[in-house]
Structure 1
Amino acid sequence: MAASKPPATVRRTLDMPDLRALETFVAVCDASSMVLAAERLGLSQSAVSQAIKSLEEDLELQLLDREVRPARPTHAGRVLHEAAARLLSQARATMDHVRATARQELAQIRLGCVDSFAATVGPPLIRAMSGKARQIQMWSGLTPTLTEQMLSRELDMVICTETSVQDPRVAQRLLFSESWVAVYPRDHPLPPPGAPRDLAASAGHLPLIRYSQRSVTGQQIDRYLRHLGVQAPRCYEFDATDPLLSLVASGLGWALSTPLCLWQSRHHLDAVRVVALPPSRLSQRHFFLLAREGEWAGLDDEVARVTREVIRHDTAPSIRRCLPALPETTLSCPDETPP
């Protein structure tokens, strides 16, 4: 068997042009001087000379005739000068187009929100953002679906209640928090104010009406009940607040919910009693804004700021007027450190 031949040395080819080197070469040709070209480009004369030399090595052609003073482009240099000038013009036009398109896209937001947020904070948020974004497209749904849509770039930003997103490019910032509250039928007897409150005992014979396990809210409430040691059989479960609250209003059970969820279905509030719960480690749910770092030129910061303003000056006061027995801390925004 014949011995195999060693692999031939592969000559490095110029797969893609070095635009900076081409810009340097065009500047030298236009200025008819390496010194003037270096001044115009803000480079040293040696950097300019090295860029021209690298181009000649890549092309295996002499581009400048250095025997004359000042150096003049050879025939190959004249061909390259003409082609490079066109290429650089196209490259600049491409960059301008990308910048213009990006600025236009920054004025359009595909915002995904959990249902309770979209139905309550969503309208005033859109009104407040109307002068900052040309168009806001709002999706609503469950947190797991929304986060998947963001990671697949179907959504630009997401406002959700809990997330396990591990992508380091996605920033997660706390917007506001709200505490769980117990909801009973209007005529259901409760212990007098100030008496120790036991959820199971307060409910009496009423079954617990739950948010489903498909929703993050349902999973969080189940953790909270386990934390309190409350065991309640699974009877009725819903993804949304409206059917859940309608059963409570009809006297068919009791539920745990939040001020924002109740505000979403406030047409039922006259038929229920809402009771604040003692604070504990798992007594709150938190809302977060998810957005990719560095892609929104501060528009994500503006969404966060406006959301907190809407909560403080619109949503929270409206809920307190309707449910004055709830403490102010039931719906609250974090303290913001000034920039």
Structure 2
Amino acid sequence: MESLHLNLGVAILKNLLPNLSQVVMLTASANVLIQRLIERKLDLIITNDVSTEPSHVFRRLLFHEPSVLILPKSFEKDPNQNWTWQRLAVCGLPLIRYWNESGAGEINEMFMKTHGLRFPDKISVDTNSLLVTLVSQGIGWGFSRPTTVLENIHMHPHFIVREMQKPSFSREVYLIGREQEFVVESEIITDIAKQFVQENIIPESLKFAPWVKEGFTVG
């Protein structure tokens, strides 16, 4: 997952490297990762999308992560910082969506359809960094997860993070692998991931979004 490769990905690599002859780590959308798992090009994947989960695989829940609004810095000037969905629909800027074939795009689109949320939109992207860059330049607004903010924290002076008003939602992040393969490694990675989320991702997220504490659950 793009939002985790620079922090959790590095932590996993550091822990596994002494015991493995070779490690290949790559970032791709959920549908690509799952397909490569099926094709045996990858042994284990971390993803939020299990809607296309193939047969003969196992999955381990790593954590639940809440969603947050990512808004242009100019929105900070508004005296009313309660950004409801109704206000965002008429804020004058389009929603920057995730491409609907990406993992984030699928869960975001499902959420909006379920709750009948409609917004002006002209732009779809498939990376967190592009979404945050466009928001930082005042081109639109978006919603994503705290790990997206952490991945792009160097741009934080140019955007703001606000609480998602009801209806809100969270995503589940899983470790997925083929049944009866790499069982020991999957257990090690699961333990590393849970500890890293508890000791790093959650505390760092609370620095810019203290309200998300109750939205995170590990395991």
Instruction: Name the TM-score, length of structure 1 as normaliser.
Output: 0.59
The change in CA–CA distance for 1:200 and 1:128 in structure 2 (over 3 A counts) is farther
From 143, 161, 184, the equivalent of 1:298 is 184
Which residue does the alignment assign to 1:198? 84
2:216 aligned with 1:318: no
4+ residue runs over 6 A deviation? none
What does the per-residue CA deviation read over 1:230-273, in whole Å, with 9 as the maximum and x for residues that have no partner?
A: 21133011100112111111112110111111211222111111
| Alignment correspondent of 2:136 | 249
| Offset, 1:309 | 0.9
Q: Determine helix, strand or coil for the equivalent of 1:223.
A: helix
- Pick from 196, 201, 207 the counterpart of residue 94 of structure 2: 207
1:230 equivalent in alignment to 2:120: no
Q: Which residue of 2 aligns with 1:77?
A: none
Residue 328, structure 1, aligned to residue 216, structure 2: no
Conservation of the 8 A alpha-carbon contact between 1:176 and 1:288: yes
Q: 3-state SS of the aligned residue for 1:248?
A: helix
User: What pairs with 1:49-64 in structure 2 (closer than 5 Å)?
Assistant: none
Q: How many residues get paired?
A: 216
5+ residue gaps, structure 1: 1-113, 335-339
Residues 290-332 of structure 1: per-residue CA shift (max 9 Å, x gap): 11222224221111111111111122222223x1433213433
Q: Tell me what 1:146 maps to.
A: 33
Residue 259 of structure 1 corresponds to: 146
Q: Tell me the secondary structure at the aligned position of residue 62 of structure 2.
A: strand
Q: Deviations over 1:31-86 (max 9, x none)?
A: xxxxxxxxxxxxxxxxxxxxxxxxxxxxxxxxxxxxxxxxxxxxxxxxxxxxxxxx
Q: Quick check: which has more Rg, 1 or 2?
A: 1
Maintained 8 Å contact 1:207/1:235: yes
1:166 is aligned to 2:51: no
- TM-fit CA distance, 1:166: 3.2
What are the ranges of 5 or more consecutive residues in structure 2 without an aligned counterpart? Answer: none
Assess if the C-alpha contact under 8 Å between 2:12 and 2:192 holds in 1. yes
Counterpart-to-counterpart distance in 1, 2:39 and 2:2: 20
The share of aligned pairs that are identical, in percent, is 21
For 1:267, the aligned partner's letter is H
Matched-pair contact (CA < 8 Å) for 1:190–1:202: no
When normalised by structure 2's length, the TM-score is: 0.89
Within 5 Å, which residues of 2 pair with 1:77-88?
A: none
Distance 1:130 1:279 in 2: 43
